[in-house]
Amino acid sequence: MMHAGEGTGTGDIDIGDQALKSRAPDDGAGDGGGDAAVEETGLLGGRVRLLQPRVGYRVAMDPVLLAAAAPFYGPGPVRRVLDAGLGTGAAALCLLARAAAVAETVPDLTVTGIERSPAVAALAGRSAALNGWTDRLRVVVGDVTDPPGPDHAEVFDLVMTNPPYGEAGRGTRPPVAARAAAHVESVPLTAWVDGCLARLRPKGRLVIIHRADRLDDLLAALRGRAGALELIPLWPGSVARGSAGGGAARRVIVRARKGIRGRVRLLPGLALHEADGSHGAQAERVLRDGVSLDTVLSLFGPDERRAIG
């Protein structure tokens, strides 16, 4: 299942990257003559090289923000990560880039990505090779909602996921099949969350990015099964006093711990754009420099490690 935050535009993408301007891939790993429809794009200021289709299934901001919200510690170091709904691998690769920048803290972090589409999964595998991370990213073709095999049951320290945002049967279904798969649920959100929690170790962390107007559905899916929730709103524009205002949050990041009880915490949020449409200083640090949301928003608690990107 592809990441919901991946768009459908063409040309460069405005996520603080150094886009490689529709450059043909040069990894030499051709996949049946389909490379004419594939381009290479740079993320995190060129730190990550990503292969994606030229038309249809396109990376956007949400997977990058998802990776930035994944903590590397607590409780204990994060070593095994699952990207549930890998897509072309944007979130997984951005997380690995963050880990590489603080290798002394997370020297052995690995990511497993589950992706339903074999063609999209193949692109993610090729992108891992482009970045030299074939030993760090394992791509599995499968469905998040399938029961996990013995190798995946309750073994991951952290699960991050960007589920399809649209409810089945509501709104207009995108005409392009790949876009529809990325944006419209094929199963209820509760089933998606079930699949994530089944693969997460007890007390492990689940990190989800979703539409802010579906927060109630997301909290209902987590209720009684994961707690100590942290909510990070993402505003489209500036919310500073005296500005034009950013409007309501369109996205929200939810972090939860499996089998833990605790109060819900509404954390400081991130304004993505200034009034002139440019990225705000904090957003730029996340989207271009690869800095974690915890660092940018100063979300560390007194007992948490600070050298985690």
Q: What is the pLDDT of residue 167?
A: 72
Tokens representing 166? 């649209």
Give me the percent of the chain exceeding a pLDDT of 70. 75
Q: What is the pLDDT of residue 275?
A: 83
Q: What is the pLDDT of residue 58?
A: 81
Q: What is the pLDDT of residue 187?
A: 85
What is the pTM (predicted TM-score) of this model? 0.83
Which segments of the chain have a pLDDT < 70?
Answer: 1-34, 36, 168-186, 238-246, 299-309
| Axis-axis angle for helices 215-222, 189-199 (nearest 10) | 40
Tokens representing 76? 């204990």
Q: What is the pLDDT of residue 183?
A: 47
Q: What is the pLDDT of residue 14?
A: 41
Q: What class, spelled out in words, does domain 34-296 have in CATH? A: alpha beta
Give every CB contact of residue 193 below 8 A, 6+ residues apart in sequence.
206, 208, 218, 221, 222, 225
**Domain coordinates of the chain in residue numbers?**
34-296
Q: What is the pLDDT of residue 151?
A: 84
Contact 189, 147 (CB under 8 A): no
Q: What is the pLDDT of residue 277?
A: 84
Q: What is the pLDDT of residue 104?
A: 86
